[in-house]
Chains A and B, each alone.
Chain A
Amino acid sequence: MLRILPKNSNYFVNSQFLFLRHSSSAPAAATNEKNKEIANYADKKRIKKGSKKIPNDFRFKYQDFLPSPTARYRNSLLEKLMRKDMLERRSQVHIPEFYVGSILKVTISDPHSQGKTNSFVGICTQREYTGLCTRITLRNVIDHQGIDVAYDIYDPLIQKIEVLKLEKRLDDRMLYLRDALPEYSTVDVNMEPELLAEGAPVPVNETIVKMKPLPWMQKWERKELKGIENLDQYLNLWRKQQREKQATPWEKYDLMKEYRRTIPEEQQNKIFSEIFDRINKINEEHKIKAKAARRTITKPQNIR
């Protein structure tokens, strides 16, 4: 039996319309995609006057602007000061959108090398920290030697960050490449950038990696990684038993643990709406510069 709800209650829907939403007989607008959000959810929410509509990919492109979720280190003034400095730095260097698994080329000023610059091409294996401390690790195999180089993105020595191949992989962290066969970490140093159509979704590279025999640096079998091939063939009985013993299958359902690892949508929107205008302006300026640079490169030297 349903209680007749008072009219003035500000959060209750009128009882007449109780069964219209979320009925399973609704047209199958939903797909079987993972983490599918109801389209225009943001539109349905009351949009305050003067607030901007933040595009969905902002949180991936500008993930460094989001603070660390640990409550102990949260401070609004510190974050505000950092964001201001980050925008200043971004006006000098274009920091493009990238993911773990993309192939990047980073050029830095190096006082000890010839020509005073040094560049490195590699797969981005992990990303650490936020704000001005954001750091990425690029991995490549050069002359049969695996090399990992870590760069602070906001380091003023960095001249250029180019994305040679924008793609995602099956995992968020790819440190297992250190224990994988070297062919999976090898990237051509003279690779040409592969451009994607503007507005196209970021492709997911579903290559599955083969591992070297044990010993490994970490117990990869316990981390539920999708990018590694059948791990059981490399393990002994003890490792397999321990994996089952140490497994925590309930953790993926732990909603509050997940919440404490994230910044909720409202806070994200607040932060991004602060930087929205400035960051778009900066991006446009970089686009113009890039276009101008391309024009000068393609100009032919010998004209017949």
Chain B
Amino acid sequence: MVGKPLKSLGYAEVTKLMSELKVPVLPRHRNLSSPLGPEGRINKLRQTVTALVKYERIELFHNRADEARGYVERLVSDARRYGDQNKEMMEMASYWLLEKQLVHKLFKVICPRFHDTFDGPFTTAYNAPRKYPSETERKQYFKRVVLELKGHPFPPLLPQASYQGKYLIHNVLLDAAMKDYYQEKKLNAMQNKKEEVTESVDEEKELDNQIKE
């Protein structure tokens, strides 16, 4: 937003504040080769970012998805912070979103989805199934990813987190084993009268609390 980026002189730029991305960021960008070079790379990413904002769930190759993810996160977090009245924010949004209606969608639909206190990530990425080896096309060998914007209107791809395997047999057995272990510990403590009785019960609660956080 400031102008031509300056060659790094070993210090962090502080003119602009931005939120931390909660998405893995590699130390270096991916090249995404194209005939136009760096400009072509940005053009490709613009297309992906636009598509994600438009369709809210897209399936593509891993490299492009991972690169575009950072850009979408930055765009959404900045749009939340600065709003649509900021001239430079508007410029940035209209650059990245190739359709004008999507700029409105970003500020009026996507940003309000998230609480002020929600840090991120605003997108999720799932590993999509690859057609290798049944398809003999070379391209199908590469990792595929399903990118989603959170709060999308589609039904979820994976089963709900609350259900995730709670009643599967190995989880049920482990739960029982844990309870037995702590009960035994409690009994031993009461017998020895050296350890505090409340410790074992608190440990179970502590585990639960850690998960909630």
Direct contact of A and B (CB under 8 A): yes
B84-98 contact mask (Cβ, 8 Å, vs A): 1 or 0: 111110001001100
Q: How far is the CA of A19 from the CA of B111 in the complex (A)?
A: 10
State the Cβ distance, A24 to closest chain B Cβ, in Å. Answer: 6
Chain A's closest residue to B114 (CB) is A11
Residue of A nearest to B92 (CB): A253
Nearest A residue to B95 via CB reads A253
Complex contacts, A268 vs chain B, CB 8 Å: 17
* A2-B153, A12-B114, A253-B96 known; A67+B12 contact, CB < 8 A: yes
Does residue B27 face the partner (Cβ distance < 8 Å to A)?
yes
B5 contact from A130, A261, A267, Cβ within 8 A: A261
Chain B binding surface, main DSSP class: loop
| A250 and B39 contact, Cβ closer than 8 Å, known pairs A22-B111, A259-B18 | yes
Chain A residues 1-41 with CB under 8 Å of chain B are: 1-3, 5, 10-13, 17-24, 26, 28-30, 32, 34-38, 41
Chain B residues 34-55 with CB under 8 Å of chain A are 38-39, 42
A256 at the interface (CB under 8 A from B): yes
| B129 interface hit (Cβ, 8 Å) | no
Give the contacting residue for A45; candidates B25, B42, B74, B117; CB below 8 A: B117
A204 close to chain B: CB less than 8 A: no
B169 at interface (Cβ–Cβ under 8 A)? no
Contact A259 B115 (CB under 8 A): no
The 9 closest A-B pairs by CB, nearest first: A30-B85, A264-B20, A71-B27, A255-B74, A224-B4, A11-B118, A3-B153, A129-B10, A44-B116
Q: Which residue of B lies closest to A74 (CB)?
A: B27
Contact B115 A11 (CB under 8 A): yes
A255 to B93 alpha-carbon distance, docked (Å): 11
Interface centre among B11, B80, B84, B153 (most CB of A within 10 A): B11
Q: A22-B108, A41-B81, A173-B6 are in contact. Are A256 and B11 (CB under 8 A)?
A: no
- Does the CB pair A37–B8 fall under 8 Å? no
Q: A35-B88, A66-B14 are in contact. Are A22 and B112 (CB under 8 A)?
A: yes
Partner of A223, one of B4, B10, B27, B82: B4
Q: Is the CB of A252 within 8 A of B2?
A: yes
C-alpha gap A5/B152 in the complex (Å): 10
Residues of B within 8 A of A134 (CB): 11
The 17 listed contacts between A and B (C-beta, < 8 Å) are A10-B118, A12-B114, A24-B85, A32-B87, A34-B87, A66-B11, A129-B11, A248-B4, A248-B39, A250-B39, A252-B3, A253-B96, A255-B78, A256-B74, A257-B29, A259-B25, A264-B19
